[in-house]
Structure 1
Amino acid sequence: MTLSSTKILLVISGGIAAYKALDLIRRLRERGASVRVVMTRSAQEFVTPLAAGALAGEPAYTDLFDSKTEFDVGHIRLARECDLVVVAPATANLMAKMAGGHADDLASTVLLATDRPVLVAPAMNPVMWASAATRRNVAQLAADGVVMVGPNAGEMAERNEAGVGRMAEPLEIVAAAERLLAARDPAARPLAGMKMLVTSGPTHEPIDPVRYIANRSSGKQGHAIARAAAAAGAAVTLISGPVTLADPPCVTVVHVESARDMLAAVEAALPVDVAVFAAAVADWRVASAGAQKIKKGAAGTPQLDLVENPDILATVARRTSGRPPLVVGFAAETEHVVDNARKKLARKGCDWIVANDVSAESGVMGGDRNTVHVVTRDGVDSWPIQSKEEVAQALVARMAATLKDRG
């Protein structure tokens, strides 16, 4: 779902991340949304109502007892005359008020009075985010149906402070808003009631406690598929190898390291209606990983005895019982992309292979764009270059149509 013609109420609370809210207003309006802004007293210490109002196209609201707006119970109008309420940044203090049902200023009163979906983008010091009080409040808000995006890991405004607590970037918040609104539209939930399994990222195969065999997979495509499937209504389990990406919202995430770990997690997640194997699983592992770090010495370069890892895609696709109705594999190729994908389809026994060119010049591995060929027994469908999010959405739409055709 796009944000065109939607009405967004943006609540800005006090924190250094408030400056990002100005960019968020611009990003929302770029997509056709109208934006009204409510600012707490603390937020006005970081950005001005004039700046927020100029970007939104109408004055920002700041005072619960403003005679110009409250003569007709303005805070109720603000709470109801919108499709979505976004709180960005959401401080620990405002989240505590929300969890406790407090209403002592315009922002908290609007949030208590709204019956619209609420999306919260927390932003605070990592110690505050990890505190027992904040964890209780987060759990309560989740139980109340509030959806969260972020926080992300990274450097804080404070010198020498880092960890989880950075507000999600404006485009991440925009994407979360689109997913949340789409989730409330039955037509946009073609996978409602279905279970999906997605694997993503690389695997790490230990050589010794320090070194490992890996590949350049970022996990961006697999994570995008998990997000798109969740937005389409599926109950998604994402089994992720080691990546630096945030866990997608509304998705059950299982973190693994090795191919054998991933296979065990996959089998534990079955049965499902759709299984998508987007992970770049290492083909080989060291037969016997060293218990201690292998040292340089007079013996020269150590010889690594490699053995094949389990074939996760083929193991699931060739199950005699409990096979998912739709099994989708990926083929990362550097030459003869479609021909190799056709051979892989026959060899693995899956229903589709999504093939792409991952040679260095393509920029696919680690990049944000992808060009894929969907190979089935009926033929090949070659798609133009798209963002990985767009590829994911198109794949999920095709999966939903295929399952519908099969009844």
Structure 2
Amino acid sequence: MADIDATLRGKRILLVIAGGIAAYKSLDLIRRLKERGATVRVVMTRGATEFITPLAAGALAGGTVYTDLFDRESEQDVGHIRLAREADLIVVAPATADLMAKMAGGHADDLASAILLATKRPVLVAPAMNPAMWAHPATQRNVATLLADGIHLAGPERGEMAESGEAGTGRMAEPLAIVAAVEAHFPGSKTDTVDATKPLTGKHVLVTAGPTHEPIDPVRYIANRSSGKQGFAIAAAAAAAGARVTLVAGPVGLPDPDGVAVRRVETARDMLAAVETALPADIAIFAAAVADWRPAQEATSKLKKDGSGVVPPLHVTENPDILATIAHLKDQRPGLVVGFAAETDDVFENAKKKLGRKGADIIVANDVSPETGVMGGGANTVHLVTAEGIESWPQMPKDEVARRLVHWIAGRLSPTA
């Protein structure tokens, strides 16, 4: 427990609990945050008090639980403004469809929504609702608005709903997963959420990583700005989760991950051939930034300037689409096909289109605009796009993205998924 205690020491967390059956998980969340050293203040909506009592939440948090916007005592000093600002991070767990709609619309008709409108602090939201409500276009519009406003999401997760027995995306993230998202907001914090089990034991996972180099002549090539770090981290995380892993890597300077069979390639055609050779696989994760085009003809000697000022023509042709090729296989298609969408604008819209066009089961989308520092950097912010909706994760180290993604994928393979 000593390592756990240090992770959030001195951090002030304001926990907003909305009305829903998942509110019972918030009691465990309070305990997990407190044991890591955080100070936790609790705000409950009227609906939340129908599921758990303020007395229980207050006993765990060790302080007053706030429930009423017009409370005579707490509002004497404009209590909702004070609560909005006297926190390092605001966590909303569970966040119902109704509260998220209020946040997106700027409503402030109760204490929770007033605080969320008044705050200038970062906000982390853990949605929890019926799968149909999560997938509804109105909710997805609200999610897109919240993300554009800088709100961070933890979950929702896919699984069986406690109240209805239905399975789908909408279940609140587990308390430890929310804790990991909280810790990711604070530089230097250390997560304690590594799963000691091996959920991918007996599975073959195929991963692609890095760029491809498409030769123009013996010294020049067309490529993408990919370091391969995220793909290599995914391969390592899959191996740690018990899988047999084949990593097909473009030209990068990274060492082979422990326990992973690595095949080094140069071009997109080489990569496709290596991927096809590695089949069959249970899971295929295509994290490589494959060059879309290659020179129609590679020069056998270096192209040189002749002093005329005329640039020699460069005719290009389209490379094979590795993700779409594997996703549309009839006989050897992996049971789960995961693609990546590196975008610079319209991230969600482009990822949704790619999901359908490529035939993938999941698209992991991220913004790779130069100002994000994702390309070549050590951190990433990803959005998991499926037919059920979009799940966004806060920024975290690429190793942690990989670990969480691998365990999330393992959950998709579980009987309840």
| TM-score range for the pair, normalised by the shorter chain length | 0.5 to 0.7
Equivalent positions of 1:5-404 (< 5 A) are 188-298=197-307, 300-404=310-414
3-state SS, counterpart of residue 405 of structure 1: coil
Alpha-carbon offset, residue 405 of structure 1? 2.7
Quickly say closer, same or farther: Cα 1:272–1:3, change in 2 above 3 A: farther
Distance 1:304 1:3 in 2: 57
3-state SS, counterpart of residue 272 of structure 1: coil
Which residue is equivalent to 1:162?
none
Quickly say closer, same or farther: Cα 1:391–1:208, change in 2 above 3 A: same
Alpha-carbon offset, residue 250 of structure 1? 0.4
Distance 2:210 2:317 in 1: 21
Which residue is equivalent to 1:157?
none
Distance 2:364 2:312 in 1: 37
* Letter matched to residue 238 of structure 1: L
Alpha-carbon offset, residue 234 of structure 1? 0.2
* Letter matched to residue 323 of structure 1: R
Distance 1:405 1:384 in 2: 27
* Letter matched to residue 403 of structure 1: L
3-state SS, counterpart of residue 295 of structure 1: coil
Question: Could you give the per-residue CA deviations for residues 235-274 of structure 1, whole angstroms, max 9, x where no partner exists?
Answer: 0000000111111010000000000000000000000000
Alpha-carbon offset, residue 296 of structure 1? 0.7
3-state SS, counterpart of residue 264 of structure 1: helix
Distance 1:189 1:276 in 2: 18
3-state SS, counterpart of residue 413 of structure 2: helix
Aligned residues: 229
Distance 1:322 1:293 in 2: 41
**Which shows bigger deviation, 298-307 or 251-260?**
298-307
Distance 1:3 1:230 in 2: 25
3-state SS, counterpart of residue 294 of structure 1: coil
Question: Could you give the per-residue CA deviations for residues 309-366 of structure 1, whole angstroms, max 9, x where no partner exists?
Answer: 0000000000111110000000000001011000000100000000000000000000
Distance 2:320 2:224 in 1: 17
* Letter matched to residue 285 of structure 1: R
3-state SS, counterpart of residue 327 of structure 1: strand
Question: Could you give the per-residue CA deviations for residues 208-254 of structure 1, whole angstroms, max 9, x where no partner exists?
Answer: 00000111100000000000000000000000001111110100000
Alpha-carbon offset, residue 4 of structure 1? 7.6
Distance 1:260 1:406 in 2: 38
Which residue is equivalent to 2:40?
none
TM-score (norm 1): 0.54
* Letter matched to residue 362 of structure 1: T
Question: Could you give the per-residue CA deviations for residues 132-157 of structure 1, whole angstroms, max 9, x where no partner exists?
Answer: xxxxxxxxxxxxxxxxxxxxxxxxxx
3-state SS, counterpart of residue 215 of structure 1: coil
3-state SS, counterpart of residue 345 of structure 2: coil
3-state SS, counterpart of residue 188 of structure 1: coil
Distance 1:215 1:278 in 2: 13
Distance 1:198 1:282 in 2: 17
Alpha-carbon offset, residue 298 of structure 1? 4.4
3-state SS, counterpart of residue 332 of structure 1: strand
3-state SS, counterpart of residue 404 of structure 1: coil
Structure 1 unaligned spans of 5+? 6-177
* Letter matched to residue 387 of structure 1: P
* Letter matched to residue 206 of structure 1: P
Distance 2:416 2:312 in 1: 53
3-state SS, counterpart of residue 373 of structure 1: strand
3-state SS, counterpart of residue 414 of structure 2: helix
Question: Could you give the per-residue CA deviations for residues 292-316 of structure 1, whole angstroms, max 9, x where no partner exists?
Answer: 1011114521110000000000000
* Letter matched to residue 236 of structure 1: V
Identical columns (%): 63
**Which shows bigger deviation, 388-397 or 290-299?**
290-299
Distance 2:315 2:412 in 1: 43
Distance 2:286 2:306 in 1: 41
Distance 2:307 2:377 in 1: 42
3-state SS, counterpart of residue 252 of structure 1: strand
3-state SS, counterpart of residue 275 of structure 2: helix
Distance 1:345 1:400 in 2: 20
Q: CA RMSD in A?
A: 2.1
Question: Could you give the per-residue CA deviations for residues 25-57 of structure 1, whole angstroms, max 9, x where no partner exists?
Answer: xxxxxxxxxxxxxxxxxxxxxxxxxxxxxxxxx
Distance 1:375 1:228 in 2: 21
